[in-house]
Amino acid sequence: MLRGVAPQALEYKVADCPAEREGAFRLIYEAYVRSGLAEPNSYGLRVTPYHLLPTTTVFVAKCGNDVVCTVTLVEDGTLGLPLEAVYSREVAHLRRTGGKLAEVCSLADRRADLARVLPTFVELTRLVAHFGLSHGTVRQLLVAVHPRHARFYQRFMAFEPFGPLRDYPCVRNRPAVGLMLDLLRPENRCHPNYRRFFGRPIDPRRLARPSMSSAERNMLRPIAALLDPGCRDAESACMHVGEAEVASDTKLVRLAGPSGFPGGASLPNIHVY
């Protein structure tokens, strides 16, 4: 169904109904199980305790009624942030210095073709950034990434390191580094890709904060409880792009044309934790 569908033909939105959130949780689950980072469960869904909080928002890209890409924004709140499982001191310092923090996680895409995935990823994260700024609750976006892929986020999206290399228990002790993007840092306005994210306004109606009913939350609670309690009662979801994990970690894709990146630069797998 997705073959030949251009990224600009997809619908990018906040998941504002149970069906869209279920589609996102199913896609995340499939990415985890396919990549060997999660055991199958009878629900066929991947939900963290953070997903049950009003400070967490799920974003989706849809082709018709099908969710083909998803990412989650976890704003700092009751449970803190998922990556505090390994960066608790660093995050505490950012809070003390007045940071408005949020973590981007639970990225999954149904497709394996990185040339199609990356433009979708950019458009969806553009929506995430506008959402956080529009509500005045987010200034710094945090991610945990494999050190091999940190350079992409630093060069393409102006992320900066905030946490050193550490083993990440929630993803089977794979190495991770913590990166941060300050959305309001003046210097970032000069970044060549700034206009890609903020050059076009987004209709405020697309940025409304969704709500989750008590019935939906209660239905999802047993699924969230499946996660390893050793991960602070929540697992920092490893962000996946289709079957990119199955392919070589060093795979490069040449992107060009209107759906590609400036100059047709070679870009790596965008897998992060």
Phi, psi of 182 (to 5 degrees): -90, 110
Does residue 273 fall inside a structural domain? no
Does residue 2 fall inside a structural domain? no
**How does DSSP classify residue 239?**
B
* pLDDT at residue 25 tops 70: yes
When mean pLDDT is compared over 32-41, 149-158, 166-175, the highest value belongs to 149-158
- Minimum mean pLDDT among 22-36, 122-136, 205-219: which range? 22-36
**The domain spanning residue 72 has which CATH number?**
3.40.630.30
CA pseudo-torsion sign 57, 61, 242, 254: negative
**What whole-number distance in Å separates Cα of residue 141 and Cα of residue 99?**
10
3-state SS, residue 230:
helix
Does residue 85 fall inside a structural domain? yes
* Better-predicted residue by pLDDT, 17 or 146: 17
Which distant-in-sequence residues (6+ apart) come within 8 Å of 208 by Cβ?
Answer: 14, 16
pLDDT digits (tens, 9 = 90+) for 204-244: 999 999 999 999 999 999 999 987 443 443 333 333 333 33
Domain housing 107:
7-268
Does residue 1 fall inside a structural domain? no
Contact status, residue 269 vs residue 247, Cβ threshold 8 Å: yes
* pLDDT at residue 248 tops 60: no
pTM, whole model, 2 decimals?
A: 0.83
- Minimum mean pLDDT among 110-124, 157-171, 232-246: which range? 232-246
* pLDDT at residue 93 tops 90: yes
pLDDT digits (tens, 9 = 90+) for 34-86: 877 677 899 999 999 999 999 999 999 999 999 999 999 999 998 999 999 99
**What whole-number distance in Å separates Cα of residue 185 and Cα of residue 187?**
6
The pLDDT assigned to 7 comes to 65
Burial of 81 (0-12, 13-18, 19+ CB in 10 A): buried
**What order of strands is seen across the sheet that includes strand 101-109?**
11-14, 56-63, 66-75, 101-109, 140-145, 174-182, 160-168
DSSP 156-213: HH--EEEEEEEEEGGGTTEEEEEEEEETT-GGGGGSTTHHHHHSS---GGGGPPP---
Element (H, E) at 113: none
Contact status, residue 124 vs residue 61, Cβ threshold 8 Å: yes
* pLDDT at residue 142 tops 50: yes
**Mean pLDDT, rounded, for 118-134:** 93
Q: Within its chain, how far is the Cα of 29 from the centroid? A: 14
**Mean pLDDT, rounded, for 157-180:** 88
Does residue 241 fall inside a structural domain? yes
Domain count, the chain: 1
| 270 pLDDT tier (thresholds 50, 70, 90) | low
